[in-house]
Amino acid sequence: MTTTINHPWQNGGDPSSKPEVIVLTNGHVLITSDADTDADGSPDADQIDPSGQKETALGIDNGWQGDSEYVNARNIPYFVLPNNWYAITNVECRLGDIAKLSYRDRIVYAIYADVGPASIIGEASIAAVESLGHNPWDSQHTKVVSGIPHGVKYEIIPQSSDLSQTINFETIQAYGKARFGDTAAPTPIDNSQAAITWLELSRLPNGTPAVIAYAGSRPQFTRYYKTKESLIAFLQAFPNARTVLVAHDKPIPECPDYDKIVVTGDPAKRSVSYFQQNYGIVRAEVERWFIDDIPERWSSNAVTNGCVAHQVSCLKLCGLPSPPLDTVPSVNVDAFVKWALNQGWERVLDIKGLKPGDICVSGPSKANLDHVYCFVEYIDDDNAHVFHNQVYGLAVRSLVGNGCGPWQFALRMR
């Protein structure tokens, strides 16, 4: 049974409607209000917002590991609760708790990072407001002048804070998706509780493509498919299984041999081919050296802060030059960029000229780089297929920053 919290909170910037606060049956809290733009935590907060301050309630003393001592509103999507929240609701929300913010067709995951006045509810950071599709700036982009009107939904999971995993924009999105089940790991169908160790790509005598799942040497079940997408989804349900292609005289359309490295003279093509055909092996290598006792919820989804580790592991497995494992360039975006440029890689500045295998670098700004991913192909002007740490296998990513840090440049191997 849901519970409505009756309290005379007001929207800060949109008086046309009253906020609504509901405790859902699953314990989540759903707030419907506006989203005043909060600049607090930005190094220049007092310059870009008349009421801005450089401090946030969530700071280094709370275990924060983001930019500087406090939570930078320019880079980190966060939301604000009034300072009388617990007294009114008796719902304990801790700093760092995750929430899903939605407005119209946009979604961004954000953390609870600041406390506001007792009379107002509905505030979010610059990064959160921008991710929801609103431009809060004046025409010179020097002052924060507006927020989102009533209609923003904040779904909060109380006591979900995990500051070791919500380190930056990218990891907040990954953690939010995992906690809300928006990128749940694929579940094997008809597994019969067997430990599937091999997947055999084959054909029936009538030509129907099939996948036979084995536990050791014993076949457990057979799956049939009609599209490449359904095949990939099935293969991803068994990330630890090896895959073999049989019946080479009867090739299966659009179904690669996932254990075969495509050898090519072009290192970028070699890298992206290996990523595509052996994503499970890359992930296993990352888990082997980058993460000890990796949490189960990450095993088929994101590995927290492991974007560089994925690219480096793929390069290593391909036999291509790569930073030594467990060194700063193998785990840190800025250090990896410096390493690549020292290797003679090309910096690509034309977003329309990306090629398969280019390692893209993104972040809130050119001075705040926080993610890398391998470009595969354009979907449209704004989106691309990529390989990175946040989705198991082929992923869709916005290049222009819808729900993530925008593309800044790419690194091209030579």
Residues 277 and 212 in one domain: no
Count the domains in the chain: 3
pLDDT at res. 254: 40
Query: Where does a domain end: 180, 200, 233?
Result: 180
Q: What is the dihedral of CA 188, 190, 193, 197, to 10 degrees?
A: -60
Element (H, E) at 307: helix 307-318
Residue 159's domain comprises: 3-180
Residues 32 and 174 in one domain: yes
pLDDT at res. 263: 36
d(CA 125, CA 214): 50
How do 29-38 and 98-103 pair as beta strands? Answer: unpaired
DSSP classification of residue 368: B
d(CA 387, CA 276): 8
Beta bridge pairs of residue 224: 210
Q: 3-state class of 375 per DSSP?
A: strand
pLDDT at res. 343: 92
Residues 155 and 274 in one domain: no
Residues 98 and 204 in one domain: no
Residues 84 and 36 in one domain: yes
Q: 3-state class of 45 per DSSP?
A: helix
Question: Which candidate, 346, 308, 342, 341, places its Cα nearest to that of 327?
Answer: 308
Query: Where does a domain end: 180, 211, 231?
Result: 180
pLDDT at res. 240: 67
In the numeric block, the tokens 């390989």 are attached to: 387
pLDDT at res. 351: 95
Answer whether 198's CB lies under 8 Å from 210's CB.
no
Residues 249 and 190 in one domain: yes
What is the spatial order of strands in the sheet that 346-348 belongs to?
A: 346-348, 407-412, 359-362, 371-378, 383-387, 395-398
Element (H, E) at 271: helix 267-277
**CATH number of the domain that residue 381 is part of:** 3.90.1720
Question: Which candidate, 135, 160, 139, places its Cα nearest to that of 148?
Answer: 135
pLDDT at res. 261: 32
Element (H, E) at 223: strand 218-224
Note the pTM of the prediction, 2 decimals: 0.51
Beta bridge pairs of residue 22: 4, 30
The two three-digit tokens of residue 329, written as one number: 């360039």
Q: 3-state class of 386 per DSSP?
A: strand
Counting as low any pLDDT under 50, the low residues of the chain are 184-194, 247-264, 293-301
CA distances from 96 to 40, 112, 166, 230, 381 (A): 15, 5, 8, 37, 34
Residues 51 and 84 in one domain: yes
DSSP labels, 95-157: TT-EEEEEETTEEEEEEEEEEE-TTB--EEEHHHHHHTT---B-TTS-SB---EEEEEEEEE-
Residues 152 and 300 in one domain: no
Residues 7 and 111 in one domain: yes
Query: Where does a domain end: 118, 145, 180?
Result: 180
Answer whether 386's CB lies under 8 Å from 360's CB.
yes
Element (H, E) at 333: helix 333-342
Answer whether 413's CB lies under 8 Å from 268's CB.
yes
Residues 167 and 79 in one domain: yes
The two three-digit tokens of residue 183, written as one number: 């990128």
How do 242-245 and 346-348 pair as beta strands? Answer: unpaired
Residues 253 and 273 in one domain: no
In the numeric block, the tokens 């119209």 are attached to: 104
d(CA 88, CA 334): 45
Element (H, E) at 67: none
End-to-end CA distance of the chain: give it in Å, rounded.
60
Residues 343 and 397 in one domain: yes
Q: Is 133 left (phi over 0), alpha (psi -120 to 50) or beta?
A: left
